[in-house]
Amino acid sequence: MMIATLAALLIQDLGVDHEFLYRADRDLKSVAVAGTFNNWDKKANLMARGADGRTWTFKRRLQPGKHQYKFVLDDENWVTDPKAQKQEDDGNGNINSILILFPSEYLKTPGKKGDGVVTPSAIRHLQSAPDLNFDRGELTLAITVRPEDVAKLEVVTPNRRIPLTRTAGDEILETWRAKVPWNRRDGLKYRFELGDGPKTWVLGANGVREKEAEWFALDPKTFKPFEVPKWVEKTVFYQIFPDRFDNGSAANDPKDVQKWGDEPTYWNRYGGDIAGVERRMGHLVDLGVNAVYFNPVMKAPAYHRYDPVDFYEIDPEFGTNAEFKKLTAGLEKVGIRTVLDQIFDHVGVTFPPFVDVLKNQQKSKYLDYFFIKSFPVAVKQNPPYEAWWGAESMPKVNLAQPELKKYLLDSVNFWHDNATLAGWRLDVANEVPDWFWREFRQRVKGIDPNTWIVGEVWYNAAPWLKGDMWDASMNYPFRDAVLRFVAEGKTTSTQFLNQLMTVYSWTVPQVSRNQLNLISSHDTPRFITLAGNNRKLAAMGAVVQFTWVGAPSVYYGEEIGMEGGADPQNRRGMRWDMVNPNNGLLNLYRRLTHLRTNASVLQSGDPGIVLADDANRVAVFSRTLGNEVAVTALNRSDRAQDVKFAVKDGTGKPVTEMLDGITGNLLRARDGVFSIRLEPLTSFVALKRTPETTTLIKGLARLPQVKEFVNP
């Protein structure tokens, strides 16, 4: 099984004391350890130099699970640990060291069902998300236990007993869930009973007891469910990197504008602008997307605009405030919402208060806007101020400074007044203090509760997804699962499906349904490139992305098969010559967006594992909602496979007829079992035959046929 990072699965002090050790081959001024356990902060955990001058150590208590890390030498040189348990590519071309920690208690006593022994410290239930949740009129309770440690689990109320079902797990913890009837008018009492061998344990408000435990109490007057914007789970996003989408107007071109299609570098500009987006709006409509996530559009010196200098002005090379207002209104008229990317962690060096610091040094009235380490302040390598990842062009800002905080939060109101906005994407959101995000949420939701807030974090984002900060995160852990199985072929079917279910279980279902599911972005090599430029694997990745839980996000050009390695190759100018009726991948994306935006089961259905055939590299999962069901099957092998499966709808009724979601063909089960033949590296999507899906599939007739990625 895959081992998940357990940042959100904190249990009763299963922490493990671990000592990091680095032996240098030369004299160093400093060594730090940075990783997923400290938000990759190279300042957080500085190591101590030993008496020999070459041995560096640092002790820290970590949660059990899988952690990625590196050593940082002299504040700038990031290296892997030569003595690490293993190394792993993070999916973005970076090799990180891997540390896997088991609780010390696990090493003392093996977990074994039926032996009459359990591990109490692994048993956990918190009366907050994701252990307690109310969604779509149903209360769900969850408990975590040690794998293979407990034979029977039930949630007990004063008048009923309900068995729990295992929904996710790894080598450290298993999660079990049950739906419990509750009218939200009366108070509810409950506790958990765990049976193993001849013994029974009870988990209640006062912990684990062998016989009795206090009831957990749920008060409807104080309980507030976590609600997220409902439109997101019905949405397909399209990510536009403004400078590289289309140059529609020469009037606002930068002086050093490059010819479209020139080899990209870290600095060159192609002149993509608002006029270009307007000119290509028809492509977005034809593709069927219904929201655009724009990378930064505010005034900034760099082409990527992640170094903002004015939070109230559209970059002149992109257009004007008035033009942006017109663009967002025009997008809304054709059914496309707008999500803006914004940076609250740092600014550019031409940000006026920072310019004042450079000019007036110690006398500047803006010193407390930044984190100045020494004088004189100058823009140079190893800057004398805190900067994002040490980049001198991006000084970090002090959000606790009252005037600066007001300036930033007021900009939110400004853009809601001067554009048609549906959401905010928050850059490097894990590096911003939680208290700021709580204030940010209050500000945004006070303007419009349906505004979506999505934060950038590359690992388990559950700590920010409890209802007081963000609505969703960029789901890079989902991408990792798809990348490992589909693009790279490094994991088994079981590992792949378990990883998907584990990531899904990190948050409550309504959050999982509105996660931003991506397989490529401006910060990663393109998925098709990581798949060896294999279009069938690119198609398979898209099928998973559009049929799994969460809102798909298509990185510009992904729908046509654009290739590109790490930055800057992944930020090439859009290949408009590839947008044509003969592009089979584009035709597939159009069909997938048609399915995703019209099939309620693919928008809101609960996930389930149907089949994990490791020997034949076949994986099958389902989505269920009421009397609906959708099934996705993947053949990751290099030979044809006959795949057989039985499936039930959301009411538990066996399904006998399904419609192929790509071709529209009718499929019938024999003796309750469906049998399909999957050619090598192909996918399959089918929906239960209902009046809704019959109408939906008929809509495929207006779309170009897909010849490249389906079975004959």
Over residues 534-549, the pLDDT tens digits come to: 999 999 999 999 999 9
Q: Is residue 688 part of a domain?
A: yes
Tokens of 218: 């749920």
List pLDDT tens digits, range 125-172. Answer: 999 888 999 999 999 999 999 999 999 999 999 999 999 998 877 778
Pick the closest to residue 237 from 305, 288, 281 (CA basis).
288
For the chain, the residue count is 712
Residue 595 CA to residue 597 CA, distance in Å, equals 6
List pLDDT tens digits, range 582-619. Answer: 999 999 999 999 999 999 999 999 999 999 999 999 99
Q: Do 604 and 665 belong to one domain?
A: yes
Q: Do 146 and 76 belong to one domain?
A: no
Query: Do the Cβ atoms of 601 and 623 come closer than 8 Å?
Result: yes
CA atoms within 13 A on the CB side of 276: 25
Secondary structure element (H or E) that encloses residue 666, with its range:
strand 666-668
Q: Do 149 and 55 belong to one domain?
A: no
User: For residue 709, what pLDDT is reported?
Assistant: 74
User: For residue 710, what pLDDT is reported?
Assistant: 63
User: For residue 607, what pLDDT is reported?
Assistant: 95
- Secondary structure class of 159 (helix, strand, coil): coil
User: For residue 110, what pLDDT is reported?
Assistant: 84
Tokens of 23: 């032996």
Of 174, 200, 218, which one is at a domain's C-terminal end?
Answer: 218
Residue 291 CA to residue 552 CA, distance in Å, equals 10
Domain with 174 in it: what CATH number?
A: 2.60.40.10
Q: Do 182 and 151 belong to one domain?
A: yes
Q: Is residue 434 part of a domain?
A: no
Query: Do the Cβ atoms of 33 and 81 come closer than 8 Å?
Result: no
Report the DSSP beta bridge partners of residue 516.
474, 551
Q: What's the N-to-C CA distance of the chain in angstroms?
A: 35
Residues 6+ apart with CB under 8 A from 149: 111, 112, 113, 118, 119, 122, 196
User: For residue 92, what pLDDT is reported?
Assistant: 60
Q: How confident is the model at residue 428 (pLDDT cuts 50, 70, 90)?
A: very high
Neighbours of 57 (CB within 10 A): 15
List pLDDT tens digits, range 276-310. Answer: 999 999 999 999 999 999 999 999 999 999 999 99
User: For residue 14, what pLDDT is reported?
Assistant: 60
Residues 6+ apart with CB under 8 A from 125: 131, 132, 141, 142, 143, 144, 192, 203, 216
Tell me whether the omega of the peptide bond preceding residue 130 falls within 30 degrees of 0, making it cis. Answer: yes
Domain housing 208: 120-218
Give me the phi and psi of 603, to 5 degrees please: -85, -45
Rg of the Cα trace of the chain? 26
Q: Do 93 and 124 belong to one domain?
A: no
User: For residue 502, what pLDDT is reported?
Assistant: 86
Q: Is residue 577 part of a domain?
A: no
Residue 304 CA to residue 267 CA, distance in Å, equals 9
Q: Is residue 591 part of a domain?
A: no
Q: Do 75 and 129 belong to one domain?
A: no
Residue 238 CA to residue 217 CA, distance in Å, equals 44
Tokens of 678: 């999957």
Of 196, 218, 240, which one is at a domain's C-terminal end?
Answer: 218
Q: Do 696 and 614 belong to one domain?
A: yes
Which residues are known to be catalytic?
427, 456
Tell me whether the omega of the peptide bond preceding residue 376 falls within 30 degrees of 0, making it cis. Answer: yes
Q: Which residue has the tokens 């902060």?
A: 41
User: For residue 76, what pLDDT is reported?
Assistant: 86
Pick the closest to residue 564 from 573, 577, 552, 554 (CA basis).
573
Mean pLDDT calculated for residue range 241-259 = 96
Domain with 612 in it: what CATH number?
A: 2.60.40.1180
Q: Is residue 683 part of a domain?
A: yes
Give residue 306's identity as a one-letter amino acid code.
Y
Q: Do 96 and 174 belong to one domain?
A: no
Residue 265 CA to residue 145 CA, distance in Å, equals 50
Residue 671 CA to residue 654 CA, distance in Å, equals 10
- Residue predicted with more confidence, 167 or 403: 403
Give residue 539's identity as a one-letter amino acid code.
A
Q: Is the pLDDT of residue 712 over 80?
A: no
Q: Do 124 and 87 belong to one domain?
A: no
The whole-model pTM stands at 0.88
Q: Which residue has the tokens 């397989």?
A: 519
Pick the closest to residue 514 from 204, 231, 297, 311 (CA basis).
231
The lowest-confidence range among 85-89, 329-333, 336-340, 687-691 is 85-89
Triad 137, 138, 142: Cα angle to 5°: 150
* Percent of the chain residues topping a pLDDT of 90: 84
Residue 131 CA to residue 216 CA, distance in Å, equals 13
Q: Is residue 316 part of a domain?
A: no
Query: Do the Cβ atoms of 464 and 474 come closer than 8 Å?
Result: no
Q: Do 677 and 613 belong to one domain?
A: yes
Mean pLDDT calculated for residue range 79-101 = 85
- Secondary structure class of 121 (helix, strand, coil): helix
Tokens of 534: 């294999």
Give me the phi and psi of 58, to 5 degrees please: -155, 130
Domain count, the chain: 3
Q: Is the pLDDT of residue 9 over 60?
A: no
Q: Is residue 630 part of a domain?
A: yes
Mean pLDDT calculated for residue range 105-121 = 86
Mean pLDDT calculated for residue range 661-672 = 93
Q: Is the pLDDT of residue 569 over 90?
A: yes
Residue 348 CA to residue 355 CA, distance in Å, equals 10
User: For residue 157, what pLDDT is reported?
Assistant: 96
Of 200, 218, 236, which one is at a domain's C-terminal end?
Answer: 218
Tell me whether the omega of the peptide bond preceding residue 158 falls within 30 degrees of 0, making it cis. Answer: no
Give me the phi and psi of 135, to 5 degrees please: -145, 130
Residue 518 CA to residue 322 CA, distance in Å, equals 31
- Secondary structure class of 469 (helix, strand, coil): coil
Q: Do 91 and 128 belong to one domain?
A: no
Give strand ranges (E) for 365-440.
423-426
Q: How confident is the model at residue 394 (pLDDT cuts 50, 70, 90)?
A: very high
C-alpha 19 chain-centroid distance: 30
Query: Do the Cβ atoms of 647 and 672 come closer than 8 Å?
Result: no
Give strand ranges (E) for 150-187.
152-157, 160-163, 165-169, 174-180
Triad 544, 547, 553: Cα angle to 5°: 75
Q: Is residue 208 part of a domain?
A: yes
Q: Do 631 and 694 belong to one domain?
A: yes
User: For residue 706, what pLDDT is reported?
Assistant: 81
User: For residue 246, what pLDDT is reported?
Assistant: 98
- Secondary structure class of 486 (helix, strand, coil): helix
